[in-house]
Structures are given as structure tokens and as C-alpha cells.
Amino acid sequence: MKFADYNISKEIKQQLDSLGFKRPTDIQYKAIRHILEGEDVMAIAQTGTGKTAAFAIPTLHMIQSSKRKYSKSKGIQCLVMVPTRELAKQIASVYRSIGKQTSVKVFGLFGGVEQEQQINTFNNGVDVLVTTPGRMFDLISQGAIDLSSTRFLVLDEADLMLDMGFSKDIKDVLRFLPKKRQTLFFSATISKKIKSLAYDVVRDAIRIQISPKNPVAKNIDHAVMFVEMDDKRFFLENVIKEHPDKKVVVFARTQVRVERVVAAMERVGISSEAMHGGIDQKERFTIFERFRSGDNKVLITTDVAARGIDIPSVDYVVNYDLPEDSENYVHRCGRTGRGTNRGQAISFCSQGEKELLIQIEDYTGESIEVYDISKGDYKSILDDSDDGTNDWQSLLKEANSEDGTEDVW
């Protein structure tokens, strides 16, 4: 089935065609028809499967149809709740892109920016509100947001919202919404807590689950290589320099580790940028945009970029440190291989991380392919580095020359 065959407006069809979207992904194929028919949907699908378009396409069509029928604005028609600012901005962008040829007004709302301009936007009319809970409740309490005529409630990345403690916020927002509404619940994973939350908000929902045995997307080739902790920077240097024109996302465990890896890459002439929760929100948006545009090709980040963020054409994901949460391995790998693209994910596993590797393989249900590295190749990667900090003889010579002693080696 093609998008041209769906009962959606010609403007949306034309825009999908101009964006290169010809056929729906599995989640889109299974969800769009039910949403257009007015049914509640509970959808479980792994990252990178096209979940956003699965709810954006039908809700845009129905809002556009309503606006044509009723020329006067009826307030916020669709509320999309998400856990992070980056997701709010990204999903609002998807709505605007798909609805470019329609008159539907989309607004991404989040904290960290001045409220006055946001309030003015609501005064000028908003049809689709994509928002994080905190700023939304702030503006509801001030009377700037009215959800009394909202027809669609979309909860995206619901599992992450639950992990971040937003369960009460999800239940609280129901007090401001009409009882007669359509609810669309999207999550990357399923658990007892997720089911319980879903059944609190959906009614007689159509359940859709796109979950292969191995949760890592089938178009991602992922492998592991055994590398000592102190040697990881040399292997990362090797990967990046072997693929100088590729986009690479590198995941490290902590903010401190991220900054150290950025510094290590700078020493060997590799330009990269850090991304973590300690960076100002406005600067984080700017860093993401530089990476999306290709101005920067190496992004070194904590798991703040592991969930939901859609960065086109990421060629490689490098797990510099294995995640302590096995589920995050899947989300990290999902930053590459988006849509129909193929992707590569490489993990560096030190001796102390082998237990984490076992847990990841238990979670995915499959053994991860191992890149065998001979002792000669391992040594060659260290020797070929432009860093020089692994060359103890050179370091000793440098130290001796500084203190005036003679090198006898």
C-alpha cells in the first residue's frame, strides 16, 4: 500500500511525496487506518520505525478537515505530550514538515525560554501543541492554555515519561481534557507499569506491537570488540579516521567521560562536540543542529541523546562505554539505521564491562557479533595513534629532557 492510496488530503499526500515518503513503515501501516477511523491506539514499536509520522499524518488530516468545515478556530485540537525538550522540538518539526501545505498551526512548548512570547503564540491560535509537562502545567495555571476542546491526546515515548517520573502528570492532564477524545499511546517498550498507565488513559484501544525477537532493528549491524579501558580512545580515533566523511554518535557513561573523550579527540586532530545534561538547553539545540546539518560530524554524548532524537543519516554509533541499562543499548543503536537506511553500531567492551555485555545479550536474546582483533592489529592501532600518550619510551625521553637527565634507552 502507498500513501497515495490513503484517505488523506491531497496536500498531505503531495507533501509526503515531496519528502520522499512513498510507502508506510510497519507501524504506520498498522496504526494510520485505525486512527483515521477514530479508534484509540496503544502502539509498541522500537526506535527508528516511524512512530511520529504514524500519528502525525492522520491527526493532521483530521484537523485540516475540521478547519475546512469550521472556519473559526476551535482552540488546541491535538495535544502531544513528550518527556524532553529535544523531543518536543523534533516532533513539532515533523508536524510542520508533513503539514507544510495545510493551514494547521503547530507549536512546540518547553521550558528554558521566556513565557511571554509563548503566551502570545497561543493568543494567535494553536492547533497542535507538542509539549513537555512542566511548562504546559505552568501555562494552564495562568490560563494561557485551554484544552477544553482538544480532540486528540498523544503520549509519545511513554516508557521514558514513566522512567522520568511523569506518570502523575499524565493522569493530571486528563482533568483538563474532554472525556470524549481520541487517545494515542506510543511506547518503545512494554512492561506491567506501561500497561497499567496505558489502560488509565485509553479506552478499548487497538493494540499494535512491532517487536521482533531481537529488539535491535534488523537494518542495524551491531558488533563488539574487546578493548581495554585505557585504550578505547585510540580505537575511537581509528574508527573516525577510517571513516572521515561519516556521521558518528559516540556514547560515554558520564558527563565527565564525555568531556574527556572530546579532549582526547582534539589532541589527535579530530573535531567533535560534547552533548550532555550539563550543557545549557539553548546550546544543546544548537549542537544538535550543527550535527544534523553536517557542520560537525562527531557527537560525543551521554544517554541524553539515546532516546527518541531523530538525527538523519547517522552512519555509525559507537558505544565507547557499555550502558548499565541494557534497554539503553537498543536505544543507542537506534540512532543509526533510521527508516530504510542501514546503520552500523560498534561497542568497546573492557574486561570490567563483560558482565554488562552478558546482560545486553540476555536482553536482546542473541549473541552480539565479536570483531576479532589480533595482537598485532591491536598494537598497530595503538602505535598508529597521533596521540603519543601510549608511547612510554617517548614520554620517558620527554620527561628526562625536562629534568636534565640523560635517556639511556
Residue 26: partners with Cβ closer than 8 Å, 6 or more residues away: 45, 49, 210
Contact 220, 343 (CB under 8 A): yes
Nearest to 309, CA basis, from 28, 22, 55, 83: 83
Residue 157: partners with Cβ closer than 8 Å, 6 or more residues away: 82, 83, 87, 186, 187, 188, 307, 308
Helix (H, G, I), strand (E, B) or coil at 15: helix
Burial of residue 207, with CB atoms counted within 10 A of its CB: 0-12 exposed, 13-18 middle, 19 or more buried = middle
Residues 181-214 have pLDDT tens digits of 999 999 887 788 888 888 889 989 999 988 655 5
The CATH class of 3-210 is alpha beta
Average pLDDT over residues 80-95: 92
d(CA 185, CA 350): 39
Q: Write down the domain spans for the chain.
A: 3-210, 220-393
Residues 218-271 have pLDDT tens digits of 778 899 999 999 999 999 999 999 999 999 999 999 999 999 999 999 999 999
Residue spans of alpha helices (H) in 243-275: 255-267
Helix (H, G, I), strand (E, B) or coil at 348: strand
* Residue bearing cell 560537525: 296
The residue with greater pLDDT, 72 or 207, is 207
Q: What is the DSSP letter of 343?
A: E
Domain 220-393 has CATH 3.40.50.10490: no
d(CA 25, CA 30): 9
CA atoms within a 13 Å half-sphere pointing along the CA-CB vector of 231: 17
Same fold, 3-210 and 220-393: yes
d(CA 193, CA 212): 21
CB atoms within 10 A of CB 278: 13
**pLDDT grade for 406, boundaries at 50, 70 and 90:** very low
